[in-house]
Amino acid sequence: MTAPPRRYATSVPQIAELLAAQIETLCAELLPAGKKDGAEWRVGSVAGEPGQSMAVHLRGARRGVWKDFSSADPRHRGDALDLVAACLFSGNKSDAIRWARGWLGLAQDYDHNAMATQRPAPVRKIESERDEDGKRVAAKRLWLEASETIKGTPAADYLAGRGIELGELGRVPRALRFHPAVICAELSCSRTGERIRLPAMLAAITDASGQHIATHRTYLAQHGGVWGKARLNSAKKVLGGYVGGSIRLWRGASGKSLADAPETDAVAIAEGIEDALTIALACPEWRVLAAVSVSNFSNIDLPPQLRDVWLICDREKNERGRVQAGDARERAVRRWQSEGRRVREATPPPGFADFNDWWQAKRRQGTAAQ
């Protein structure tokens, strides 16, 4: 299999749009002496001294648009990419593009003709499929385009930032892959209308027979040089129908496939990938699955020989969420108990939203104690 192309469709307007999506973080880095003033970032000038003469819009249709009113230089106004050029490179746009691509975590071999050469028809078809069979085919195609391992990729860096060091697991889950350029439906270039691509961690969602039925996407971006989830309304999305499927992240002590798992295996089922990997680190002897959503817990089919099931639960932030999650977990417990399995629930200690939050805090405490 060939690796996904490093050069992909990210035009100059798209880079400016991506920077604008993180404009407050960008302003704090480029102009740290400035201050947030309502919907604007205010500073003295592009030199960065404290003051009010320069304004950068932080929200709305003009997000990223700025002007230095203390200067008559036409380069001292423009979009978010122009801001990088003015603050760091005396207006040099080429240097600003290279810097911005690095800050955003985009591939460095940028090509101004990429919009024409790296927008193949199959990708457009992936996003236009509407029926379930089409979505499943599109999900599998996207999966096959990605690198076969996340080792050494931004996806691994993202997980490391969540306290999940793959080296400690001893083996990299094959259910995870990295793709450098996945279309994001939430973002489009305001000038061209083209949808923007972002790096993403992909996860294979498989059914009881092991068939690939959907692909989970976690969109990634760099924030101040550190990889994290992209700042979107929803950085996690699923292509394809995933009901009844799961992400098989860890095979536990036996190392066998789910279908061939010995009856001595305990299986832990978490909602998300990060929580599931946290459990794999904390209890590597357990087999671990991610259900994608709490509502999917009760839909997952388990081999009959697996009798010991742990539900890994989050602490919901509001009453409505607690009720809905509680109902979903109860359905799962009733179903698996009716199949003769022993079902137990594990919840993170008070004060933590999920086990990954707890795990990160534990790691920080350990580091501080050294």
Q: What is the pLDDT of residues 330-361, one digit of tens each?
A: 999 999 999 999 999 999 999 999 999 999 99
Is the per-residue pLDDT at 107 higher than 70? Answer: no
Model pLDDT for residues 236-245, shown as the tens digit of each residue:
999 999 999 9
Is the per-residue pLDDT at 126 higher than 50? Answer: no
Q: At 16, is the secondary structure helix, strand, or coil?
A: helix
Is the per-residue pLDDT at 91 higher than 50? Answer: yes
Return the pLDDT at 299.
Answer: 94
- Round the average pLDDT of the chain to a whole number and report it: 85
Is the per-residue pLDDT at 7 higher than 60? Answer: no
Return the pLDDT at 316.
Answer: 76
- Strands 236-239, 266-270: pairing is unpaired
State the DSSP code for 326: H
Tokens 């989830």 locate to 229
Model pLDDT for residues 162-214, shown as the tens digit of each residue:
999 988 988 899 999 999 989 888 877 666 667 788 899 999 999 988 999 99
Burial class (CB in 10 A: 0-12, 13-18, 19+), 8: buried
**How far apart, in whole angstroms, are the C-alpha atoms of residue 36 and residue 19?**
17
pLDDT tier at 112 (50, 70, 90 boundaries)?
very low
- Residues pairing with 196 in the sheet: 184
Segment 258-271 shows an average pLDDT of: 94
Is the per-residue pLDDT at 226 higher than 70? Answer: yes
- Indicate the fold that domain 12-104 takes in CATH: DNA Primase; Chain A (3.90.580)
Tokens 């959503």 locate to 293
- Using CA atoms, how far residue 308 sits from 250, 293, 303, 311, 346, in Å, is 16, 21, 11, 10, 13
Segment 279-285 shows an average pLDDT of: 95
Treating both helix axes as pointing N-terminal to C-terminal, what angle do 80-88 and 93-104 enclose, rounded to 10 degrees?
110
pLDDT tier at 14 (50, 70, 90 boundaries)?
confident
pLDDT tier at 369 (50, 70, 90 boundaries)?
low
User: Above pLDDT 70, what percent of the chain?
Assistant: 87
Q: At 182, is the secondary structure helix, strand, or coil?
A: strand
Residue type, 328: A
Phi, psi (deg, nearest 5) at residue 249: -100, -30
Question: Are the beta carbons of 161 and 277 closer than 8 angstroms?
Answer: no
- Cα-trace Rg, the chain: 23
Domain ranges of the chain: 12-104, 121-203+213-236, 247-369
Return the pLDDT at 370.
Answer: 55
- Indicate the fold that domain 247-369 takes in CATH: Dna Topoisomerase Vi A Subunit; Chain: A, domain 2 (3.40.1360)
Residue type, 50: P
**How far apart, in whole angstroms, are the C-alpha atoms of residue 243 and residue 207?**
9
What is the maximum alpha-carbon separation in the chain? Answer: 77
Residue type, 270: A
Report the predicted TM-score, pTM, of the whole model to 2 decimal places.
0.70
Return the pLDDT at 256.
Answer: 93
What element of type H or E holds 181?
strand 176-188
